[in-house]
Amino acid sequence: MSVVDSPVDWVKQHIQRYVETNGAEGHEWRPGVFTLLLTTTGRKSGRPRRTALIYQPHGDAYVVVASQGGAPDHPAWFKNLVEDDSVEVQVAADKFRARARVATPEERPALWALMTEVWPAYDEYAAKTDREIPLVVLERA
């Protein structure tokens, strides 16, 4: 079954470049800002769905933010992994299966600080929405 990439044109192009170059292009999205590719299983379609996300390493895991730019609802990829926490991840050329989990309330402050260090706009996104923006920890399976 073929992977369905993000419907957003610039994200789709970013993913295509990332995949074609095995992360040589696209891993560093902007200077000092790195992205990974996350593939979830569509909760309605059952098809693999892939998106690119800013990440930070945290020990042996990776952290991503389900911000959707501060939109009022969670992004589809987050809803998918809530239904099925088994995901595929690509960090540069490293591809692996992982389990996705929402950061605990105890982990959240340190992980939020870790993520806003690399992308300060997350604070702006949080101010735009009434929902608590989830932090997701991706742990190798």
Residues contacting 3, CB < 8 A, separation 6+:
39, 47, 48, 49, 50
d(CA 121, CA 140): 28
The string of DSSP letters for 58-91 reads ETTEEEEE--GGG-SS--HHHHHHHH--EEEEEE
Mean pLDDT, residues 62-72 taken together: 97
Mean pLDDT, residues 53-65 taken together: 98
Mean pLDDT, residues 80-109 taken together: 98
pLDDT of residue 53: 97
* Global confidence as pTM: 0.96
Mean pLDDT, residues 99-103 taken together: 98
6 — pLDDT class (breaks 50, 70, 90): confident
d(CA 55, CA 140): 15
Summarised one tens digit per residue, pLDDT across range 8-33 is 888 899 999 999 999 999 999 999 99
pLDDT of residue 16: 94
Q: Give the alpha-carbon dihedral of 133, 49, 138, 23, to 10 degrees.
A: -110
Question: How much is the mean pLDDT over the chain?
Answer: 96
H-helix or E-strand spanning residue 96: strand 94-102
